[in-house]
Amino acid sequence: MKARNADLWSGLALVALAAYVVVQASGWDYSGPDGPGAGFFPLWYGIVMLVLAAALVASSLLHGEPKRVDWRGAGRALAVSAALAVSVLLFKLAGFVVGFAALAFFIVSVMYRRPWPLAAAVAIGLAGGFYLVFPLLLGVNLP
């Protein structure tokens, strides 16, 4: 086992995070009278994450020699994570529709490097779709 194996260490960190998610979600209601409870999706998300992270750890242990780290790809992944964190802040400040539109615009224009008019059209279309489906058709308020 090499200390520089990024897959091993990131897999172990993800196993720990997934275990935390599973433990926390198992304390919430799994189902309720109206369907899935607050713990249903986090529990299954944590279980799937735990299985995939364990597979990453096992793969890194079996293949021994670590691969070169793709720093460009890692930077892009961190950029999306940062954009998601910013959009969550926007959810509280400007509402879900605006925050989600900003996230979609960033991903299409920056990550996929598409022209900004196309990114704006995608962002407006997705945000409008969410607004149409949830508040208007289903009567569910978005944050």
With contact defined as beta carbons under 8 Å apart, do 58 and 44 qualify? no
Q: How far apart are CA 8 and CA 43, in angstroms?
A: 24
Per-residue pLDDT at 66: 61
Same domain assignment for residues 58 and 119: no
Per-residue pLDDT at 122: 97
The whole-model pTM stands at 0.60
Same domain assignment for residues 132 and 77: yes
Phi, psi of 114 (to 5 degrees): -100, 155
Residue where one domain finishes, among candidates 43, 69, 95: 69
- Percent of the chain at pLDDT above 90? 45
Q: How far apart are CA 80 and CA 76, in angstroms?
A: 6
Question: Can you give the residue range of the structural domain that contains 89?
Answer: 70-143
Same domain assignment for residues 34 and 88: no
Residue (of 137, 140, 100, 89) closest to 122 by Cα position: 100
Q: How far apart are CA 102 and CA 90, in angstroms?
A: 9
Same domain assignment for residues 83 and 32: no
Same domain assignment for residues 63 and 82: no
The gap between the terminal CA atoms of the chain, to the nearest Å, is 46
> What tens digit of pLDDT does each residue of 41-70 get?
889 999 999 999 999 889 888 876 666 667
Phi, psi of 48 (to 5 degrees): -65, -45
